């Protein structure tokens, strides 16, 4: 769908219960799925306004209901312990008629949040201390939701981290060759096919009960946590669209994929892309601390697999989308998904060389 005109976005703002007239409106963000604006009102107060991608999130009202339930639960927990209820979790802004979102005349679904001030979001992080704090925050997020009633949640994207199914979908994309690109990425496809057996590791363990199902975030990349712009403390976890029952390993893993890497997810120069074992270790310590000791021994043992498998899964998704002609992710240039996929594959290859060291390390954390 085309992007709406400025005047149309202003008209949408009027539907939401913002405190005052809009004085500024800016496009923002680096999300691959939704489109984001920053809205400022007379008092200087700011809001996030987003178009939720309904080609991907088929039940937008259900997604918003998930987010309201989860953030209310977290907010109550923060309040009970005298913690920061303003910045500690997202706050959904309802429409003037009390809905959790608004569908415009062209069918776009809009939703709004308070803007969390004095924070930054990063694509990479240098300091192990900062990354450990991110780990603690994502672990803490899981801990806070450990007593949340999962039956209140809809599954916003079915089979989201079913890596086995992701691989099957990838094979179908290769067979379709919709954009005629298969011949140009034979090496990448082979690299993935050679690791097909890895795709079932977490999924099978969840199915057999070897790993527990928890309420998880499912999109824990580094840019989905806001850090205090001065202290780099982890302030607020954002992008709750995919909060669903899932595995702690995927949450652990997606932060590793993005934060234990020396370059951004779409770094075109592969010589700059390295897996950073010390960052893995810092994050693991933080994450385990944040969960408050809730992880089972099996989960801790499999933390290295979490990072490894989600990086492979992400490569599969980016390359699959490239083969399909870039229908899922926002892209900034023709080869963007291929660049992203290659970066992930480089990380997969490097992680393999560290697996023994990582397994030895997590043994000490059990």
Give residues in contact with ligand GN1 (CB under 6 A). Answer: 31-33, 56, 219, 221, 224, 239, 241-242, 265, 314
The least CB distance from residue 302 to ligand GN1, in Å, is: 19
Helix (H, G, I), strand (E, B) or coil at 271: helix
The least CB distance from residue 209 to Mg ion, in Å, is: 29
The least CB distance from residue 35 to ligand GN1, in Å, is: 11
Q: Is 239 in the site for Mg ion (CB under 5 A)?
A: yes
Cα 214 to chain centroid, rounded: 16
| CA geometry: angle 310, 167, 350, nearest 5 deg | 40
Supply the DSSP string of 178-230, one letter for each residue: TTS-GGGGHHHHHHHHTTGGGGGHHHHHHHHTSS--EEE-S---GGGEEEETT
Residue closer to ligand GN1 by CB (options 35, 285) is 35
Q: Which does 324 bind (CB under 5 to 8 A by kind): Mg ion, ligand GN1, none?
A: none
Residue closer to Mg ion by CB (options 224, 248) is 224
Q: How far, in Å, CA of 299 to CA of 9, rounded?
A: 45
Residue closer to Mg ion by CB (options 239, 326) is 239
Q: Is 251 in the site for Mg ion (CB under 5 A)?
A: no
The least CB distance from residue 32 to ligand GN1, in Å, is: 4
Q: Which of residues 208-227 bind Mg ion (CB under 5 A)?
A: 219
Q: Is 267 in the site for Mg ion (CB under 5 A)?
A: no
- Mark the segment that binds Mg ion (CB under 5 A) among 152-160, 165-173, 235-243, 311-319: 235-243
Residue closer to ligand GN1 by CB (options 31, 286) is 31
Q: Which of residues 140-199 bind Mg ion (CB under 5 A)?
A: none
Residue closer to Mg ion by CB (options 219, 265) is 219
Q: How far, in Å, CA of 223 to CA of 72, rounded?
A: 22
Which helix H or strand E contains 26, and what residues bound it?
strand 22-28
The least CB distance from residue 88 to Mg ion, in Å, is: 20
Per the structure block, which two tokens stand in for 138?
Answer: 């994502």
Q: Kindly compute the dihedral angle of the four CA atoms of residues 141, 72, 233, 114, in this order, to the nearest 10 degrees.
A: 140
For the chain, give the number of residues: 366
Residue closer to Mg ion by CB (options 239, 251) is 239
Buried b (16+ CB within 10 A) or exposed e, 80-94: eeeeeeebbbbbbbb
Judged by the rule CB under 5 A, the positions of this chain that interact with Mg ion are 219, 239
């Amino acid at each position: 769908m085309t992007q709406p005109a400025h005047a149309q976005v202003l008209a949408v703002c009027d539907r939401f219960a913002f405190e005052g007239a809009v004085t500024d409106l800016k496009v923002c963000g680096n999300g691959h799925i939704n489109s984001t604006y920053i809205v400022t009102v007379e008092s200087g107060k700011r809001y996030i306004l987003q178009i939720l991608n309904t080609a991907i999130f088929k039940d937008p009202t259900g997604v918003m209901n998930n987010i309201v339930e989860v953030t209310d639960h977290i907010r109550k927990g923060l309040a009970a312990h005298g913690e920061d209820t303003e910045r500690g979790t997202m706050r959904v802004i309802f429409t003037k008629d009390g809905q959790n979102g608004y569908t415009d005349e062209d069918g776009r679904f809009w939703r709004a949040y308070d803007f969390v001030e004095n924070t930054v979001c990063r694509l990479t992080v240098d300091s192990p201390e900062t990354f450990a704090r991110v780990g603690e925050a994502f672990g803490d997020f899981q801990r806070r939701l450990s007593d949340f009633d999962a039956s209140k949640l809809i599954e916003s994207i079915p089979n989201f981290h079913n890596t086995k199914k992701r691989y099957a979908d990838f094979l179908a994309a290769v067979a379709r060759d919709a954009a005629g690109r298969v011949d140009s990425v034979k090496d990448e496809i082979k690299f993935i096919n050679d690791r097909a057996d890895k795709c079932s590791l977490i999924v099978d363990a969840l199915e057999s009960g070897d790993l527990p199902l928890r309420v998880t975030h499912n999109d824990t990349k580094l840019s989905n946590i806001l850090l205090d712009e001065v202290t780099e403390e982890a302030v607020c976890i954002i992008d709750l669209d995919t909060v669903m029952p899932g595995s702690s390993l995927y949450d652990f893993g997606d932060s590793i994929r993005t934060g234990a890497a020396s370059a951004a997810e779409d770094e075109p120069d592969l010589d700059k892309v390295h897996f950073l074992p010390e960052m893995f270790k810092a994050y693991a310590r933080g994450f385990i601390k944040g969960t408050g000791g809730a992880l089972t021994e099996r989960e801790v043992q499999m933390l290295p697999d979490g990072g490894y498998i989600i990086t492979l899964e992400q490569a599969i998704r980016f390359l699959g989308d490239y083969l399909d002609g870039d229908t899922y992710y926002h892209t900034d240039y023709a080869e963007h998904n291929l660049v992203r996929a290659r970066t992930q594959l480089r990380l997969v290859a490097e992680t393999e060389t560290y697996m023994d060291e990582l397994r030895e390390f997590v043994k000490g954390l059990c």
